[in-house]
Structure formats: C-alpha cells, structure tokens
Homo-oligomer: A and B are copies of this chain.
Amino acid sequence: MTEQNTYHHGDLRRALLEEAGRILEAEGAASISLRRLARSLGVSHAAPGHHFSDRAELLSELAADGYAGLADALGEAMESTRPEDWLGATGKAYIRFGMANPERYRMMFGSQLMGEDCPERLRAESSRAYMMLLRASYRGPPDVDPADYHVDIIELFAWSLVHGAVMLWLDGQLGPGVDRETFLALTDRILDEKVGR
C-alpha cells in the first residue's frame, strides 16, 4: 500500500506525513529528516521537496494535525457533558490528549513554528482549538459569537493550568513520586475544585 512500483507514487504527500508522524512519536521531532522519509518510502531524496517547500512546512503540517486532533478531543468532551461542566471536562480532555501524544504535543507548543509567516492551516487549526477552550469557559450571554469573546481571567487561568500541567508531566519535572495515576488524580481534583467555580 505504501509501496508502489510506479514512477509516480500516487499519494506521496500523505505517505510522507504518515511516516513522519510515526517517527515523531517514536523518536521525537528532531529525528524527522526529509531524506530519511524519502528512504523509508523508497523514493529519491529530493522527492519530498516537491510536496513541502521546507522541512518546516512538513513539521507545520504535523502540528496542524495535532491541533485538529486536540480541537476534536475538546469538542467531544463538550458534547458529552452539560455546559456547566464544560470547563472541567475540556481541561481533563486536554490533559489526556497531551499525555497520549507527548511528542506531538511538544512539537505543537515547544518549537516556534507559529511565526508571522506560518502556514494558514496551522493558524486555522490552532485557533480552532483555542476557540474550543473559550467556548468551554464562556459564561456570558449566549448570543455572542465565540470569535468575539475576549481573553479574560478565567480563560487564561484554565488554559494556563492544563497547559502547564501537561508540560510538567511530559518533561518529568514532577519527580519519581508522581506516577501516571497520581498525576491524573491530582489534575482532576484541581480541575474539579479550582476551575468548577
């Protein structure tokens, strides 16, 4: 399926992204090289260059996929809970997404792909995820467009909290005393007690 002996690969772009995603979670973003991807897929070393202008563009695509997955996870969390529980539910979903996709998450937030001239899709997917959190924490009148919410204390508070917790976990900064179970119990308790209002 990924192997086709035709001159044209068929869907090299997709294959490149899939292989890159595999390497990402297995070895980290630093191990992703265009030449290695080409080697794995049996194409020439310059073939990837026809689908991504840059190595950065490929990584941005991976990051955009990550934001899309995060936004979806947040959306699902909101669908299965009542609006008054949205903030806590999305927080928990956020933390679980980060723990399930550590390298993906690290790349989304750690590397500075989101510059001035970042790809449009990356910007779109990341702001979609952001809008999810805004919606989850919004408490105002219901007829306001989510794009018109403004960042206020609650939103920054909630997002900072879950984002920081995931980062601390991924970097192993919490020490050996905090295992996976303990961490989840702690964060859930924080979200219940501090965020639920």
Chain A facing B: main interface SS: helix
A194–chain B nearest beta-carbon distance, Å: 6
- Does A100 sit within 8 A of B, measured CB to CB? no
Chain A residues 66 to 118 lying within 8 A of chain B, measured CB to CB, are 106, 109-112, 114
User: Interface segment, A7-15, A45-53, A174-182?
Assistant: A174-182
Q: Note all chain B residues with C-beta closer than 8 A to A165.
A: 156, 160, 164
Q: Note all chain B residues with C-beta closer than 8 A to A114.
A: 171-173
Are B160 and A164 neighbours in the complex by a CB distance under 8 Å? yes
The interface size bin for chain A is 35 or more
Are B187 and A156 neighbours in the complex by a CB distance under 8 Å? yes
Closest residue to A190 on the B side, CB-wise?
B157
Residue from the set A109, A162, A187, A189 with the largest chain B CB neighbour count within 10 Å: A109
- Does A36 sit within 8 A of B, measured CB to CB? no
Give Cα distance in the complex from A165 to B186, angstroms: 19
Q: Given A164-B167, A167-B167, A177–B156 Cβ distance below 8 Å?
A: no
Q: Residue-by-residue, is A119-159 near B (CB-CB < 8 Å gives 1, otherwise 0)?
A: 00000001100100000000000000000001111001101
Q: Could you list 16 A-B pairs, sorted by A, with CB under 8 Å?
A: A114-B172, A127-B175, A130-B175, A150-B177, A151-B178, A151-B186, A153-B189, A153-B193, A156-B165, A156-B168, A156-B174, A159-B168, A160-B161, A163-B164, A163-B167, A194-B194
Interface residues of A (CB under 8 A from B): 28, 106, 109-112, 114, 126-127, 130, 150-153, 156-157, 159-165, 167-168, 171-175, 177-178, 186-187, 189-190, 193-194
